[in-house]
Chain A
Amino acid sequence: MAAAAKTTPKHADAPINKALTRDDKIKLFRQISRIRRFEQISLKHYNAGKMGGFLHLYIGQESVAVGCVSLMGPNDHVITAYRDHGHALAVGMGMNECMAELFGKKTGCSKGKGGSMHYFAPDKNYWGGHGIVAGQTPLGLGLAYGLKYKGLKGAAMCFMGDGAVNQGAFHESLNLAALFDLPVIYIIENNGYSMGTSQARSSSYTGCLAQRAEGYGIAWEQLNGEDVYEVRARVQVAMERAHSESKPTVLEIATYRYYGHSVADANHKKYRTKEEIERYEREHDPILIWRDHMIKEGILTDAQATEIDQEAFKEAEAAAVFAEKSDWPDPSEIFDDVYWEVDNQTVASQSGRHFFND
């Protein structure tokens, strides 16, 4: 929300974007389309009663995750909140395992234990998927601490919502980040609302939310998230700061969610207008904007772009079939993954009682 000016050519010309090959750009288009299609298909099955709990859709915000994740090197890490499908697919998690998790199946990325809000893939430097608002913010700090401790040149990108900035844990994290010079990048995905509460009704600030970083002596920036070029160009500055100076940054990225807070949010056309939603869909859609770049730059024809999108659609549909056909977890798995020592049948697991069912 509160989007700044439209992307200028300057962002496309930033060295980090100049370095993109044709294939890189097509890959970005494929990713952004896959996230959209994955969520559209998941919505369909959620509405058909195939899933439990909540489904928080990222639709409208895809350029943020895709742009940021595209900057990651081997020692860069990601952690986010419960609106986590986009980041998960962007880091390379598969549609099958992600869809199966929503269906609560054994083949899900968390074996059906976590659900929509709790995707994890440590092998891809992706640390979740967290349901408690701002609960991930000290964890992001901890990833940065771990990197620095190990002497690795990397950054921890910690995503959060505009509503999460008011949690104490986040403020404590900012102080620690600055005090200890930790390479963490807090990325506030500002979609204007925390559930039904607008930014103006939830936060007091001067200038913008990211500017609160100033009080902690932390560099900050506010940018527009609808264009992958802009996201990449400006987040890269923070990445460099983390890598070369081991310093934190707070970024506030303007974006918008088209759907309700979760699918169960029946009020989402009450606290904001239909016109507002339609304007974003029409004028600020991250997929349309990137597609437009591709076509204008002669990288893709309209037909080719449509084909990529259709492939994404088919992949998502196939993932739903996979999820549907997969087995439920076995009840015996209820007590797996509680204790490391017990799962690994170590000596430590042999002494004392771990579980208290009778």
Chain B
Amino acid sequence: MRLSPSFNRSLWVFHFNSGSCNGCDIEIVAALTPRYDPERFGIKLVGSPRHADVLLVTGPVVHDMADRLRRVYAQMPNPKVVMCIGSCGQSGGVFYDSYNLDGPVGDVIPVDIYVPGCAPRPEAIIDGVVKAIVLLESLEEKQ
């Protein structure tokens, strides 16, 4: 991994819904509104995983999405960060014993940051991004 200060100041985000109820997705969009203005820190929503540095995954992983999630993760160029938004991705949440789940996100791809909540508030998501930046900075020092 080649981490650098510029990486932390320019995180481009790709948003992936692996089976969420859409509650978390709405909160992510809320976190991108002018009220919170994450572009201040260089955070930008991009349309292609090839451009992304951060993968935001919402929801538990349903059978059909498991392979897609793995492929989207593989399509992202290194270095990359995965953030799991919402309780569903952590444990299954309200869907924990559903018959059509492949399990929480952590069982399918490696996750760096979990943001709990159903759905987490935009402040919590931004706090998660700050935690991700702190993590990246500590990794950069170790490098």
Do A and B come together as binding partners?
Answer: no
Binding site for A on B (CB under 8 A): none
